[in-house]
Amino acid sequence: MSLELLVLTLDDVLIRTDELRRAGIDLAPRERGTLRAHEDAFIAACGQQAIPVRPQALALMRSAESGGARLALAAPVSSRMLCALLDGAIGPDWTDRFAVVATADALSARETEADLYRLVLRTAEAPAHRALLVGATQGSLRAASGIGMHTAAVLPPGSDTPHHAAASITLSGTARAAWPDFHVLESIVAGQHGGHSASRAMAEPVTN
């Protein structure tokens, strides 16, 4: 079984949250009454300092594209915030890399993160079992696995305990770790799908 879609989340996957904190940027959601002010402050902060994309995520994106998979981005923030962040981090043409970009703007007040992932799958016309989501929070991993997606959990730096025990794969959150290529992750998923045991992939540290 091959994977059609690699779905990336934002915090601690595409962007490391410690980089945001160092820049004084707060990605945490706000109540609707203060959302606009929070967005304005976030966008202003992004304009003052570009936040780098996690190199491991960029490498995984490239290996997925070279393997014929499509990319999707699911970010539970507003499109204004996402554009401000990634315009500086990747460049204004960053949307060209993704077949689907889904943000909180697409959700009603009663919808959840799982609904955001369902939207990604519907838009990409990809079945859940042919999609792999890379997440770093318990909520994102639980939501994705709950609708049938495969999941790769990015661990906190220095941790060897997955956020979500049902994650198909674990990836190191250490800044200088290298993540396995997409075809390696795909092989692990295929082994599990076929009923065979497969060891989880832990990235090895990069050596100079």
Q: From residue 169, give the alpha-carbon distance in Å to each of 53, 127, 200.
A: 21, 19, 5
Structure tokens at 173: 């959150």
Three-state SS at 16: coil
Q: Where are the beta strands (DSSP E) in 9-95?
A: 70-75
Say if 86 falls within a structural domain: yes
**Tell me: the pLDDT tens digits for 1-13?**
689 999 999 989 9
Say if 41 falls within a structural domain: no
Residue stretches of the chain with pLDDT short of 70? 1, 23-34, 158-166, 193-208
Amino acid 201: pLDDT: 52
In angstroms, the CA 79 to CA 55 distance is 23
**Tell me: the pLDDT tens digits for 42-71?**
888 888 887 889 999 999 999 999 999 999
Amino acid 152: pLDDT: 95
Say if 203 falls within a structural domain: no
Question: Residue 90 sits in which domain range?
Answer: 5-16+53-193
Amino acid 199: pLDDT: 42
Specify the CATH number for the domain of residue 156.
Answer: 3.40.50.1000
Say if 199 falls within a structural domain: no
Say if 60 falls within a structural domain: yes
Amino acid 43: pLDDT: 83
In angstroms, the CA 103 to CA 77 distance is 6
As for how many domains the chain has, the answer is 1
